[in-house]
Amino acid sequence: MLLKNLLDSKPQIQKHLFEKGYLITDASIPNPKEYPFYDNWADTSIGAYHFWVHKGAKLYTYRFDKGSLFLIGHAYNPYTMEADENIILQNLAQAYGTDSYWNTIDELTGIFVLGLVNGNALELVLDASGMQCGCYGTIAGKQYISSHMRLIGDICQLQTDPYVKRLINYRWYRFMMGNYLPGDITCYKELKRIIPNTSLTFCNGAYTVRRFYPNRPIQMCQTEEEYRKVIAEASRILQNTMALIPQKWKRPAISLTGGVDSNTTFAAANGHYSEYETFSYVSMYRESVDAEKAKQISDRFGVTHTTYHVPESNDQIPDFEIYKAVFDYNQGGIGASKDDDARKKVTLIQNDVCDVEVKSWISETIRAYAYKYFGRKKFAKNLTARNYTSLYKIFFMNRKLVWDTDKHFKAYFKNTQLKEHLFNYDESDFFVWEMMHGGKCGLNIGVMKSCFDITIPYNNRKLLDLLLRVPLDKRISDQHHMDLKRHMNAELYDMNIRVVNLNETSRRKKMVNIYYTINSKLPF
């Protein structure tokens, strides 16, 4: 294997392979000091399972009469102001078997996999948006659950799904939100992706997937007073979140730009600015504008800001090709990443940036991203598999890929019971939530963890549900984000700084919307 040969000669890069990952299995792992573990993983036995956890990740456990609860990653509760994972597990143990158990999970912010082991029975969930990736499958009678599909593939010598090979080699594959796979598939037929908002249970030799969210109709804001209450409550939770983060990490830093998402995150830190730093990176001219605005904001509130300048050429980074190969492998080998993105990651790895990046992803879920991206004011209430395919990628005349992708989305509907749990929610939001974020961003976060730990204030199911109550027109216009910022930091709001994404042009929106409309209606 080419990657193995490269890493065997570069011990300083070996630690980045499947960094901060996990593997849960009832199989024995031979030679953990060799590829792909390189002695960077610790084995803990819980019930019938081995919990292999990368030394950069944390495993928390709590044993009680129902079995052993576990959490890999990090979690904190901005509703109860609990920052200790051990206490969170104790609280979950007390609530286990009741509605309060699931309500507590909905209150958690963080990036984690959480579950219970009782003998050879196992159940688990991911964080709200699946930023801690998970995939699962039974291979040769053994169970495997992991953060990295390629890790299982290497251990079990799996072969890439022919459909995935055709898809990632398709010339327009990287267009429309980059590299990720449709539905709940992985690069191997033997493995499925764990979907956010579902629980996975293994018992008596079989896996069961159960959707637990949504579980009731959403109560949309009907009056301005109801809207103001939502803004006030969401502001409270975001501010609680930003108060908890410095309790968990010594050197938190907000990844700051002039955009609405990170601006709102910065506003939420109001009252705690002395405990944060901010940073930006510049790899092209348009990013320098964001960095300038980020420094302007930081200076205004006395926060130290650092701008990292990314080399313009791959040749300026030693061992760049090996780093990039590891990054792409950690994402499942589902398409090459862009060189400038890889250069950013290596630059951040090589600098002592922070203990944890406070990242503003997931905000797009509540900002009606599908409407923005396609320039639409309306989507069908009940989206078809072809609608999903049209939201996913532009296939033009490759109708074989269209049909095969339709099939994967149909299987996703069935496997995760999405259609039975939509109630009056906007289905396009779940495409953004479970496909774009759970399917793409979670993989990217897994790579970014090589640079530092990452936490995401918006990654809280109860908070997301609250802000989905906001009328659609306010979500599309970002009025709710402006009102959140004004509520949390009026002085920042009055600075009136907002750098618009140059990719969001009216022409691009028009073109992709034409494609979406036509492709959704084609019978073939």
pLDDT exceeds cutoff 70 at 501? no
What is the tens place of the pLDDT at every residue in 90-149?
A: 999 999 999 999 999 999 999 999 999 999 999 999 999 999 999 999 999 999 999 999
Q: Per the CATH hierarchy, to which homologous superfamily does domain 17-167+185-211 belong?
A: Aminohydrolase, N-terminal nucleophile (Ntn) domain (3.60.20.10)
Can you give the pLDDT at residue 397? 84
Percentage of residues in the chain having pLDDT higher than 90: 93
pLDDT exceeds cutoff 90 at 504? no
Residues of the chain with CATH 3.60.20.10: 17-167+185-211
What is the tens place of the pLDDT at every residue in 358-369?
A: 999 999 999 999
Task: Work out the angle at residue 401's Cα, subtended by the Cα atoms of residues 395 and 405, and round it to the nearest 5 degrees.
Answer: 100
Residue 14: its H or E element? helix 11-14
Cα Rg of the chain (Å, integer)? 22
b/e map of 484-523 (b: 16 or more CB within 10 Å)?
Answer: bbbbbbeebbeeebebeeeeeeeeebeebeebbeebbeee
The pTM of the full predicted model, rounded to 2 decimals, is 0.97
Task: Give the pLDDT band (50/70/90) at residue 503.
Answer: low
Task: Give the pLDDT band (50/70/90) at residue 492.
Answer: very high
Residues 226-247 have a mean pLDDT of 98
Who's near 425: CB < 8 A, 6+ residues apart?
214, 218, 468
What is the tens place of the pLDDT at every residue in 165-187?
A: 999 999 999 888 899 999 999 99
Percentage of residues in the chain having pLDDT higher than 70: 99
pLDDT exceeds cutoff 60 at 502? no
Residues of the chain with CATH 3.40.50.620: 224-365+450-496
Can you give the pLDDT at residue 287? 83
Residues 429-444 have a mean pLDDT of 96
CB 212 within 8 A of CB 199: yes
What is the tens place of the pLDDT at every residue in 315-327?
A: 999 999 999 999 9
CATH architecture of 224-365+450-496: 3-Layer(aba) Sandwich (3.40)
What is the tens place of the pLDDT at every residue in 257-289?
A: 999 999 999 999 999 999 999 999 998 777 889
